[in-house]
Amino acid sequence: MPQFTQEININAAPEKVWQILSDIANWASWTPTVTKVELLDTAPTKVGSRAYLEQPKLRPAVWQVTEWRPNENFTWVSQSPGVRAVAEHVVSREGAGSKLKLVVRYEGIIGWLVGTMFGSMTQQYILTEATSLKRRVEATT
């Protein structure tokens, strides 16, 4: 099961990081790894909520929230035949600021193949997402 992780410190309280991170509908405004988001369920976001995402170099996908703990973390999954992508977003207190941890893993019969084929791009995307979120949060504090 290939897994990719990125951690970054952000000079803001976890609540501020969460405010921007959890506003999924606006991700395309702060990260170039997402070009379009459509929320498929009404607010508030919770376990079971779904979003349609378009990302450069990837097929459009529907992501469904499987864990939602405000100001702490959320996990969502996207499924295709033979593979399930799981993405975790974790915010924790780190000194006077926060630590953001992003994890993507590929599960299923061809999860190892997808992880091998898209591993480098996946790692680059989560690095871009982490640094983009840091920039957005720190610019608004």
Q: What pLDDT digit, counting tens, does each position of 7-31 carry?
A: 999 999 999 999 999 999 999 999 9
Confidence of residue 37 (pLDDT cuts 50, 70, 90): very high
Domains and CATH numbers, the chain: 3-139 (3.30.530.20)
Q: Which residue has the higher pLDDT, 42 or 53?
A: 53
Q: Supply the pLDDT for residue 54.
A: 98
Taking CA 30 as the corner, what is the angle to CA 26 and CA 34, rounded to the nearest 5 degrees?
A: 70
Confidence band of 44 (pLDDT split at 50, 70, 90): confident
CA-CA distance, 99 to 31, in Å (whole number)? 18
Instruction: Report the C-alpha gap between 1 and 10 in whole angstroms.
Output: 29
**Which of 93, 87, 96, 71 shows the shortest CA–CA distance to 15?**
71
pLDDT at 72 exceeding the cut of 90: yes
Give the whole-angstrom CA distance, residue 8 versus residue 91. 10
pLDDT per residue over 84-129, tens digit each? 999 999 999 999 999 999 999 999 999 999 999 999 999 999 999 9
Predicted confidence band of residue 43 (pLDDT cuts 50, 70, 90): confident
> What pLDDT sits at residue 123?
97
Report which of 84, 82, 91 is spatially closest to residue 22, judged by C-alpha positions.
91
Question: Mean pLDDT over residues 64-76, rounded?
Answer: 97
Interstrand relation of 83-94 and 36-39 (parallel, antiparallel or unpaired): unpaired
